[in-house]
Amino acid sequence: MSLAEYLPFYSALTTAEQNILLSSASYRSASQGDLLHAGGLDCLGLLVLCTGRLRAFITSPEGREITLYRLFERDICLFSASCILSSIQFDVFISAEKDSEFWLIPSETYKEIMASSAAAANYTNQLMASRFTEVMWLMEQILWQSFDKRLAQFLLDESEMDGSTALNITHEKIAAHLGTAREVVTRMLKYFQNEGIVNLARGSIELTNIPALLEIVNS
């Protein structure tokens, strides 16, 4: 898989800049569950996802997690190179939700390219703005939306991503995604089950009434 086809600004780079990128980038893989970036403890570099799925999240001082966004094929993860972005003042963690393969561009290399290429700098600013919009949307959901709506939307999103109404996910993992306690998730899922919206089993959730979930989201 050629790195060039994954970078929208690649054709706007000079030959020298292209050669710098190609010579320094490395193709890597990660297994499901691997932690790729540990917040401010490291500065991995720019991740260009080829296959699989990654998760970007933050943690509270007590260790509670909340998912900021997911990364899919052809997505680029800027926060894994946050040491080159002086405006980033919080620690973002990156983990592999599925077995993944990606290009890794060292932070210093990408910083050099941004300094010399307006196209790369502009793309980076656009990417930053896009991620900021996603995080602001998440904050709005947390602040203004009831938990039953957030959980219903999460289940619908998971079903769409997996292409199935049978979700292999634990209550604990859902809690980590949504930034709440497992007990809160379990209580709401049991309510959904009593209403005939889901069926619960150990480590899995079957969505049995999609229209009801949509109604909760849109109510």
DSSP line for 55-69: EEEEE-TT--EEEEE
Give the model's pLDDT for residue 87.
58
Joined together, the tokens standing for residue 84 give 């080159």
**What CATH number corresponds to the domain at position 48?**
2.60.120.10
Q: Which of 112, 143, 174 is the last residue of a domain?
A: 143
In a shared domain, residues 14 and 72? yes
Q: Which of 143, 164, 196 is the last residue of a domain?
A: 143
Q: Which of 101, 123, 143 is the last residue of a domain?
A: 143
- At residue 43 the predicted structure's pLDDT band, cuts being 50, 70 and 90, is confident
- At residue 211 the predicted structure's pLDDT band, cuts being 50, 70 and 90, is very high
Give the model's pLDDT for residue 30.
95
Give the model's pLDDT for residue 84.
66
In a shared domain, residues 17 and 124? yes
3-state class of 215 per DSSP?
A: helix
The sign of the CA dihedral 79, 81, 83, 84 is negative
pLDDT one-digit tens code per residue, 101-152:
999 999 889 989 999 999 999 998 898 888 888 888 888 888 888 999 999 9
Q: Which domain holds residue 104?
A: 3-143
H helices present in the chain, as ranges: 15-24, 107-116, 118-144, 147-162, 171-178, 182-194, 210-218
In a shared domain, residues 120 and 175? no
Single out the residue of 116, 101, 117, 192 nearest to residue 154, CA to CA.
192
pTM over 0.85: no
CB atoms within 10 A of CB 49: 20
* Structural domains in the chain (count): 2
- At residue 46 the predicted structure's pLDDT band, cuts being 50, 70 and 90, is confident
Give the model's pLDDT for residue 166.
95
pLDDT one-digit tens code per residue, 66-106:
998 899 999 988 876 666 665 555 678 899 999 999 999 99
In a shared domain, residues 47 and 128? yes
In a shared domain, residues 201 and 214? yes
Q: How far is CA 29 from the centre of its chain?
A: 17
* pLDDT of 173 over the 70 cut: yes
In a shared domain, residues 157 and 133? no
Q: How many residues does the chain have?
A: 219
Please state, rounded to an integer, the average pLDDT across all residues of the chain.
Answer: 89
In a shared domain, residues 74 and 10? yes
